[in-house]
Amino acid sequence: MLDVKQISTHKDAFIKALKKRNFNAEDLFEKLLKLDEERRQTQKQLDDTLAESNQLSKEIGALFKQGKADEANAIKEKTGALKENSKQLNHKMESLLTELQDLLYTIPNVPHELVPAGQTEDDNQEIYSKGDIPKLSHKSLPHWELAKKYDLIDFELGNKITGAGFPVFKGKGAKLQRALITYFLDKNTDAGYQEVQVPLLVNEASGYGTGQLPDKEGQMYHVTGDNLYLIPTAEVPITNIFRGNMLNESELPIQLTGYTACFRREAGSYGAHVRGLNRLHQFDKVELVNLTTPEQSYQMLDDMVEHVKDILDELKLPYRILRLCGGDLGFTSALTYDFEVFSTAQDRWLEISSVSNFETFQANRLKIRYKSANQKKQLVHTLNGSSLALPRVIAGILENYQTDEGIKIPEVLVPYTGFEWIK
């Protein structure tokens, strides 16, 4: 989240940068700065009123000691009016602060200079690609038909139990999913990440802290009776572990990984592009979360990109990396790289990971700071990335590894699955 001081100092630069997102901030910034000026004037009036009231209280005490009760009582009437005035000013301050906070929550993160201008995903920049797209036979099938043929995933049963977008994994399909989860976690912990298990429900403060609220309120499942939210990604509870913390620079970077189920209400359209595992209400994902200093964060982002590349190289899936344009950039992100796996049977690219640097945007909301060696207090930079989202990885494996004899398991996963083929 931006703050008023940042906006006041960098107003023109922020307005220009936010235009990459097709976000016109000029009028909003003017309103914010006027509100902040009113807040500062109100704060001064309140401070002056309280100071005068305190001074008069001292005078009243002195007059009573001198036996001048009538003069003291006369002044007490004035202090009563000052107290009422200060009460009204306090209410005004609370109202102004709430209005300011609500407006600040509506402003997305300022894009990094590397973010290309653009309106839609068609304007994203491909910066890397690797892997040969397999040549499948005319008998090749999309993953939802393969899942049915080999009894791996039952979409109809999930629909019966819950509804569309909640598949049931069975037999070797369930084992493949479990194998991928363990493999991803092993890769992450071997790279120095600490594994954590976190709640699947978060409170409202956690949702606001990482920026899902109010931006994605309609996309989150809300447990109204307890005012809790099902998590859309492990990023939310993992990052909130440090909400309100003052860290020491020696503790940074902090690198955490966790596996969770994820819940999103976004699957509502129809057609081949959302069939099968392409888009779900519930899915499994392994996440990376990093907290680091501003000086280290973009090197950390590059390291995360290389880490995800290494996983996809071992899975031997054809993939590409995109630098997201301003119009496709997530609300909280300053810079995002998307990884996409090519689905040969569907003849299309499927997003399977996003790796992002949020800079201080989340840390400002969460009040996560650190003390540098000279005891200066600063906001950390937060980063996160999928490592990886399971459904589309499984879709890619089923489709790209299918043969006339069955589906061959990627070599790196065989020690985890215990089988080499799905037949």
* pTM over the 0.75 mark: yes
Do both 55 and 143 map to the same domain?
no
Same-domain pairing of 351 and 272:
yes
Element containing residue 161 per DSSP (H, E) = helix 155-161
Whether residues 155 and 35 fall in one domain: no
Q: Does any domain span residue 114?
A: no
Whether 141 and 244 share a structural domain: yes
* pLDDT given at position 271: 52
Instruction: Check pLDDT > 90 for residue 134.
Output: no
76, 104, 132: which is the final residue of a domain?
Answer: 104
> Read out DSSP for 352-415?
EEEEEEEETHHHHHHT-EEE-TT--EEEPEEEEEEEEEHHHHHHHHHHHTEETTEEEPPGGGHH
The tokens describing 296, both together, are 């280290």
Of 54, 69, 104, the one marking the end of a domain is: 104
Q: Mean of the pLDDT values across residues 149-169?
A: 95
Q: Let me know whether 310 and 344 are in one domain.
A: yes
Q: Is residue 110 part of a domain?
A: no
The reply to whether 354 sits in an annotated binding site is yes
Give domain status of residue 279, yes or no: yes
Quote the pLDDT of residue 373.
81
Q: What angle do CA 95, 216, 387 make, to 5 degrees?
A: 130
Count the Cβ atoms, other than its own, within 10 Å of residue 345.
20
- Average pLDDT over every residue of 358-378: 94
Q: Are residues 379 and 253 in the same domain?
A: yes
**26-31: long-range pairs with CB below 8 Å, 24+:** 28/103, 28/106, 28/107, 31/103
The reply to whether 275 sits in an annotated binding site is no
Q: What mean pLDDT comes out for the span 303-330?
A: 97
**Cis-peptide, bond into residue 415, ω within 30° of zero:** no
| H or E element that contains 29 | helix 26-65
Tokens linked to 194: 């600490």
Same domain for 93 and 181, yes or no, is: no
Q: How many domains does the chain have?
A: 2
The predicted pLDDT at position 391 comes to 95
Q: Do 129 and 85 reside in the same domain of the chain?
A: no
Which CATH number goes with the domain that contains 189?
3.30.930.10
- 174-198: per-residue pLDDT in tens? 999 999 999 999 999 999 999 999 9
Q: How far is CA 214 from the centre of its chain?
A: 12
pLDDT of the residue at 273: 61
Are 38 and 175 part of one and the same domain? no
**226-240 tens-digit pLDDT:** 999 999 999 999 999
CATH number at residue 93: 1.10.287.40
Q: Is 287 annotated as a binding residue?
A: yes
- Is there a domain that residue 111 lies in? no
Mean pLDDT to the nearest integer, 237-259: 97
Residue 272: pLDDT band with limits 50, 70, 90: low
384 marked as part of a ligand binding site: yes
pLDDT above 70: residue 269: no
Looking at the fold, whether 149 and 263 belong to one and the same domain comes out as yes
The answer to whether residues 91 and 157 belong to one domain is no
**Domain ranges, residue 50:** 4-104
Best mean pLDDT range from 61-75, 205-219, 274-288, 352-366: 352-366
CB 191 within 8 A of CB 314: no
Report CA torsion sign: 230, 236, 242, 244: negative
Mean pLDDT of 51-64: 82
> Of 104, 130, 148, which one is at a domain's C-terminal end?
104
Q: Check the annotation: does 351 bind a ligand.
A: yes
Helices (H) and strands (E) in the chain, counts: 13, 19
116 is a domain residue:
no
